[in-house]
Amino acid sequence: MQFQVTPSALNDATVTVPGDKSVSHRALMLGSIAEGRTNVSGFLAGEDCLATLAAMQSMGVSIEQDDATDITIDGVGLQGLGMPDGPLDLGNSGTAMRLMAGMLCGQAFDSVLTGDESLISRPMRRIISPLGTMGARIDSRNGLPPLTIHGGSALQGIDYNLPIASAQVKSAVLLAGLYAAGETSVVEPAVTRDHTERMLGSMGVAVNKSGNRISVEGRQTLKGCAVQVPADLSSAAFVILAALIADKADVLIENVGVNPTRTGIIDILQAMGADISLEQPRLLGQEPVADIRVRSSVLHGGPVAPALVSLAIDEFPVLFVAAAAAKGKTTFSGIGELRVKESDRIAAMASGLRTLGINVEESPDGAVVHGGRFSGGVVESHGDHRIAMSLAVAGANAQEPVTVRNVAVVDTSFPGFCDCLAALNIDIQVLAE
């Protein structure tokens, strides 16, 4: 599949985007090992989350999908999971693999975690090492998936200093800590998204935080609860970008999660001159939400603060396009983590933007993007949903049509992406390759 995007004049609009992927994954896993029933509304029925749902069902958890966005989970408790019949295929989801590894290393049975071609090429030593220190036994393919997790390990709590800021690694260690003797602590070098800690708290687990240290005591009981999943800020970022770089648009995106550990994208864009405001701030459970209003703006390049990197790690493909549409040059540094995502996102965005006439200079952990005008052309997503969507939005503001190749992966995180852009009057079509 490919996107064919024709330069478009945007309408003013009010839109919604699908539920938060990070929260949806965690609701499935934590609801499964809780006692009692967890009712989830606003669930993201994308391919990644559906792979997690199927994995939990294969371990004996009763999960009913009442409709596309409402699910009911009858939890089995910390030790109630059963041995699956075969490997657990987690598709394209690094979040699912890393968090599930932390949860499964405390079980009595063996399990195997695998995924698609992209996922089995992603580094897993970052979780294998701390989990091994806790007593887990995990076999890998030289640090790559599939992961074979041996059951029956007696886990011990540890005090772990994260070498690289990563919510996935932090969450894997904390979930393993639920099965460990004593206290497990993680110290972050920079703030990362805290959905795991918030949801654990909602389910009755005492999570202690002191500065950048997060701690849980082992063997606590989780209690099922109602989870309302907000709209995903990472998905809203594409709508924000489209409105910002349009000639004249005023767009409202409703009910978006604005957890302060996720809003780096807004801070960075506002520093570039973006007219973005949060309206009607409120809470869904323990997660802050708001309606996000975006008006077309003249953006200006400059250095992006490294301190904001961990708060916007998934949104850098969007930021590359914003930088390309800005006046002057934008310097990104400290983003080497992007090279080991679903694709090498620095290289993929640099290549795509160069094809569209933008000057981009790469470095091992960053890039300099010189603002300009997007020409037309054919660009490659490298099988990465965020690359595909970012370059599609660039196409709406280009001088000639843009074709984005290999876009089937967009459904992993943003089902209905094309319909959402069409609501803004963007001319986007899905064609066969």
Positions annotated as catalytic residues are 314
Q: Is residue 243 a contact partner of residue 322, using CB atoms and an 8 Å limit? A: no
CB 341 within 8 A of CB 98: no
pLDDT at 285: 85
If you average pLDDT over residues 165-188, what whole number do you get?
A: 98
Alpha-carbon gap, residue 18 to 82, rounded angstroms: 31
In the chain, which residues fall in CATH 3.65.10.10? 2-19+230-431, 21-228
Q: Please classify residue 403 by burial: count the beta carbons closer than 10 Å to its beta carbon, then call 0-12 exposed, 13-18 middle and 19+ buried.
A: buried
Q: Dihedral sign, CA of 210, 185, 365, 49?
A: negative
At 410, the pLDDT band (50, 70, 90 cuts) reads very high
Residue 5: strand, helix, or coil:
strand
Structure tokens at 205: 């687990």
pLDDT band at 421 (very low <50, low <70, confident <90, very high): very high
Residue 363: its H or E element: strand 359-363
Of 102, 309, 305, 98, the C-alpha closest to 188 is: 309
Residue type (1 letter), 149: I
Question: Is the domain defined by 2-19+230-431 classed in CATH 3.30.1360.120?
Answer: no
Domain boundaries 21-228, CATH class: alpha beta
- Amino acid at the residue 1: M
Mean pLDDT, range 398-404, rounded to an integer: 98
User: What would the pLDDT profile of 281-312 be if each residue is shown by its tens digit?
Assistant: 999 988 999 999 999 999 999 999 988 999 99
Helices (H), 94-208: 94-104, 125-133, 167-177, 195-202
Q: Is the pTM of this model over 0.75?
A: yes
Contact call for residues 92 and 116 (beta carbons, < 8 A): yes
pLDDT tens digits, 244-290: 999 999 999 999 999 999 999 999 999 999 999 999 999 998 899 99
**321, 276, 280: which is closest to 294 by C-alpha?**
276
State the pLDDT confidence band at 69, using cuts at 50, 70 and 90. Answer: very high
Q: At what angle do helices 195-202 and 21-32 cross, to 10 degrees?
A: 40
pLDDT of residue 431: 93
